[in-house]
C-alpha cells in the first residue's frame, strides 16, 4: 500500500503541480462518544499548532493542513482511522488518546512509514513494544504515574483501607495494576480490588462493596465519566472515602458530573503546561478563541512542534530522515524541551499530585525531573 500511495502522490504532483505543495498531517482521538472531551483537547491543540506554524512560514516553505480522525477510543475504529490517514498520504499523526487505540493503530503507522507521536497514551506497552522506531509519545507512562500514586497512598493511607478499581481497558487496568504494585512495594496492600464495566450508569453494587469494606480511599483506574458517576453514587450512599485517579480525569467534565461529590478528589497528571511561561501566548490564543487549553491540548501542540522541527532538520518529510532527527535532537516546545529516549519516551519532569477543589484542580505535590 505504501508504494502505491507514494506512486500516486508522485503522479499527482506531476499532473497537478503546485496544488499538492501542502502537507496534510493527522490528529486522532475520540471526537465523538463518552470520551469526546479528550478528543476535543487534542483537536484544539492541533488546530492552534497548525495555525501558528503556518503563520510562521510553514514547514520548509510548505503549509500544513489538518485531517481529523475520530476513533471513539475503539481499537477497531482506530485501525480504520490509521488506514484512512495512510490513504491520504499523511506523513505524521498526533494521536491517539486512548492507549487501546494507539497500540493497534501504531501497527498500521509502522507498516505505512507514518510517524506517530501520542500526546496522551500512557500504557507502557505503547513504546516498550512499539513495532518500529517511528512511534513516540510526549506524555509520561503509567508505571511512572502508578509509582507516584502508589507511594503517595502508602504514605498517607498506610493504616486505612484502600480499594483499587479498574475499568478493564488497556489504560485503566494497566494504571490500576501499576499503582497497586507501587503500593505494595511501599508496604501497603489494597484491601479490595475490583473491576467494573465502562459505559454503565449504575454502580450501586460496587459502591455497596466499598461501603462494606469500610474503605477510606478509592483508587480508580479509568476515565472521568465512570469515575464521576462512582463519586456521585458514593456520596449518595454515604461513603465518605476520598477518590484518587489518574490523568483521564483531567477535564472540567469530571466536575460537571460529580458536582460537590468531586471535592477533594486526588489525581496524577504531568506538570500543568499552562503554567509554563513559554506557553503563555498559545494559551492566550486558545482561550481568546473561546476554547480551553486544559488537559492534553498543549501536549498535542508540542507533539506537532517536535515533528515540524524534525522535518525542518531533515529538510523534508521523508520517514527515515525525520525519525533520525527525532531520535537525536532536542526540541523546544510549549511543554518544555523534549528529548526522546531509545524507546520513544520523553525525558521530562514526572507526575504531579493534584486535588480538585471548587471545580478546579491544582498541585498539592510537585514533581522532580527524571
E strands along 30-106, which residues? 64-70, 92-95
Check whether residue 56 and residue 68 sit in a common domain: yes
Band the pLDDT of 349: cuts 50, 70, 90. confident
Check whether residue 205 and residue 71 sit in a common domain: no
Alpha-carbon gap, residue 121 to 125, rounded angstroms: 10
186 within domain boundaries: yes
**Strands across the sheet with 266-269, in order?**
192-195, 162-166, 217-221, 242-245, 266-269, 352-357, 360-365
Our CA angle for 269, 275, 281, nearest 5°, is: 125
Check whether residue 90 and residue 227 sit in a common domain: no
CATH code of the domain in which 129 resides: 3.40.50.2300
Check whether residue 30 and residue 113 sit in a common domain: yes
Alpha-carbon gap, residue 7 to 201, rounded angstroms: 50
pTM: 0.90
98 within domain boundaries: yes
344 within domain boundaries: no
345 within domain boundaries: no
- pLDDT at position 62, please? 97
Q: Please name every residue paired with 165 in a beta bridge, in sequence order, or none if there are none.
A: 194, 220
Tens digits of residue pLDDT in 6-23: 434 433 333 333 444 799
Tens digits of residue pLDDT in 217-273: 999 999 999 999 999 999 999 999 999 999 999 999 999 999 999 999 999 999 899
φ/ψ of 65, rounded to 5, equals -120, 150
Band the pLDDT of 365: cuts 50, 70, 90. low
Tens digits of residue pLDDT in 307-328: 999 999 999 999 999 999 999 9
294 within domain boundaries: yes
Check whether residue 177 and residue 120 sit in a common domain: no
Q: Nearest-CA neighbor of 295 among 231, 358, 246, 257?
A: 246
Q: What is the domain range of residue 192?
A: 143-269+351-365
Tens digits of residue pLDDT in 151-185: 999 999 999 999 999 999 999 999 999 999 999 99
Band the pLDDT of 370: cuts 50, 70, 90. very low
32 within domain boundaries: yes
Check whether residue 120 and residue 9 sit in a common domain: yes
Check whether residue 111 and residue 41 sit in a common domain: yes
Q: Please, what is the end-to-end C-alpha distance for the chain in angstroms?
A: 40
370 within domain boundaries: no
- Is a pLDDT exceeding 70 seen at residue 139? yes
Percent with pLDDT over 90 in the chain: 90
- pLDDT at position 16, please? 38
Check whether residue 315 and residue 166 sit in a common domain: no
Q: How far is CA 342 from CA 115, 269, 308, 311, 328, in A?
A: 15, 23, 20, 19, 10
Q: Give the total residue count for the chain.
A: 370
- pLDDT at position 364, please? 87
Question: 279-284, long-range: CB within 8 Å, 24+ apart, which pairs?
Answer: 279/334, 279/335, 282/48, 282/52, 282/334
Check whether residue 130 and residue 234 sit in a common domain: no
283 within domain boundaries: yes
Check whether residue 122 and residue 249 sit in a common domain: no
Hey, what's the cell of 129?
A: 513494544
Tens digits of residue pLDDT in 62-108: 999 999 999 999 999 999 999 999 999 999 999 999 999 999 999 99
Q: How far is CA 133 from CA 45, 154, 227, in A?
A: 24, 37, 35
Check whether residue 84 and residue 182 sit in a common domain: no
Tens digits of residue pLDDT in 18-71: 444 799 999 999 999 999 999 999 999 999 999 999 999 999 999 999 999 999
- pLDDT at position 350, please? 82
User: How many domains in the chain?
Assistant: 2
Check whether residue 119 and residue 160 sit in a common domain: no
Hey, what's the cell of 169?
A: 481497558
- Is a pLDDT exceeding 60 seen at residue 300? yes
Amino acid at each position: 500500500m505504501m508504494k502505491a500511495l507514494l506512486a500516486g502522490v508522485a503522479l499527482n504532483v506531476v499532473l497537478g503541480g503546485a496544488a499538492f505543495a501542502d502537507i496534510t498531517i493527522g490528529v486522532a482521538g475520540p471526537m465523538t462518544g463518552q470520551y469526546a472531551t479528550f478528543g476535543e483537547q487534542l483537536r484544539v491543540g492541533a488546530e492552534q499548532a497548525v495555525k501558528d506554524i503556518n503563520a510562521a512560514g510553514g514547514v520548509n516553505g510548505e503549509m500544513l493542513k489538518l485531517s481529523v480522525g475520530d476513533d471513539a477510543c475503539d481499537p477497531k475504529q482506530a485501525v480504520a482511522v490509521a488506514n484512512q490517514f495512510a490513504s491520504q498520504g499523511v506523513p505524521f499523526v498526533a494521536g491517539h488518546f486512548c492507549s487501546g487505540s494507539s497500540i493497534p493503530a501504531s501497527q498500521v503507522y509502522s507498516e505505512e512509514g507514518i510517524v506517530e507521536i501520542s500526546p496522551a497514551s500512557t500504557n507502557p506497552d505503547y513504546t516498550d513494544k512499539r513495532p518500529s522506531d517511528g512511534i513516540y509519545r510526549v506524555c509520561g507512562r503509567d508505571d511512572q504515574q502508578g509509582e507516584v500514586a502508589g507511594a503517595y497512598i502508602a504514605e498517607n493511607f498506610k493504616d486505612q483501607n484502600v480499594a483499587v478499581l479498574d475499568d478493564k481497558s488497556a489504560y485503566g487496568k494497566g494504571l490500576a495494576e501499576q499503582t497497586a504494585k507501587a503500593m505494595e512495594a511501599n508496604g501497603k496492600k489494597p484491601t479490595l480490588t475490583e473491576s467494573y464495566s465502562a459505559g454503565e450508569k449504575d454502580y450501586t453494587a460496587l459502591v455497596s462493596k466499598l461501603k462494606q469494606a469500610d474503605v477510606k480511599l478509592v483508587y480508580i483506574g479509568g476515565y472521568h465519566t465512570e469515575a464521576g458517576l462512582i463519586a456521585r453514587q458514593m456520596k449518595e450512599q454515604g461513603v465518605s472515602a476520598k477518590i484518587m485517579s489518574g490523568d483521564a480525569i483531567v477535564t472540567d467534565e469530571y466536575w460537571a458530573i460529580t458536582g460537590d461529590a468531586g471535592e477533594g478528589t486526588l489525581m496524577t497528571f504531568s506538570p500543568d503546561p499552562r503554567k509554563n511561561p513559554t506557553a503563555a501566548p498559545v494559551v492566550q490564543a486558545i482561550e481568546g478563541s473561546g476554547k480551553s487549553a486544559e488537559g492534553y491540548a498543549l501536549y498535542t501542540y508540542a507533539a506537532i512542534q517536535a515533528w515540524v522541527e524534525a522535518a525542518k532538520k531533515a529538510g523534508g518529510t521523508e520517514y527515515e530522515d525525520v525519525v533520525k532527527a527525532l531520535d537525536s535532537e532536542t526540541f523546544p516546545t510549549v511543554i518544555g524541551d523534549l528529548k526522546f529516549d531509545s524507546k520513544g519516551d520523553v525525558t521530562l519532569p514526572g507526575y504531579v499530585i493534584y486535588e480538585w477543589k471548587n471545580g478546579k484542580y491544582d498541585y498539592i505535590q510537585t514533581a522532580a525531573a527524571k
